Amino acid sequence: MNIQFKKGVLELCVLSLLVRRDFYGYELVEYISRHINISEGTIYPLLRRFRTEGYVTTYLKESQEGPPRKYYKLTPWGLEVFNRLNVEWDDFTNSVNNILGEDI
């Protein structure tokens, strides 16, 4: 699958998780890689970009199991971006399904 496309879809997926609740890096990465076959190392740069572009903020939270974890939290702007990407995705998948399903 085209790499740019995959990256775009990955953005949508990560954002959709953060819409529901805050995540820390490791669990986000694990969740995504369970569903999509990608190197986990591609997600951290994505999260970093989310931070620099203002889609998310981060905070540290102590944990019993180990070191403090950096949590990612969606901003209102991030939510806006997610909604737009979501709409784009719906449009796209609908169009593709139309093409696939239509009798020529």
Partner 1 sequence: MERVEYINELTLSLKGIPSQDLADIIEDIQEHFDVGVSKGKTELEISKELGNPKEVARNYISSFEQYPKDEFNQDLSSDNKDTTRKVLVIIALFFFNILVVLAPFMLVWGLLLSFYAMSLGFFFSGLGILIGFPLTLIYTIINPHFLTRLGFGLGFVALGLLCLIAAVFLTIKLGKLTWLYIKWNISLL
Site for partner 1, residues 15 to 34, rule: CB under 8 A:
24-26, 29, 33
**By CB under 8 A, residue 76 contacts partner 1:** no
Q: Which of the ranges 12-20, 59-67, 96-104 carries the binding residues for partner 1, by CB under 8 A? A: 59-67
**By CB under 8 A, residue 41 contacts partner 1:** yes
Burial zone of 4 (CB within 10 Å; 0-12 exposed, 13-18 middle, 19+ buried):
exposed
**By CB under 8 A, residue 56 contacts partner 1:** no
Which parts of the chain fold into alpha helices (H)?
3-20, 25-35, 43-52, 76-101
Please tell me the distance from the alpha carbon of residue 71 to that of residue 64, in angstroms, as a whole number. Answer: 15
Q: Which residues bind partner 1 (CB under 8 A)?
A: 24-26, 29, 33, 39-42, 44-49, 52-53, 65-67, 69-70, 81, 84
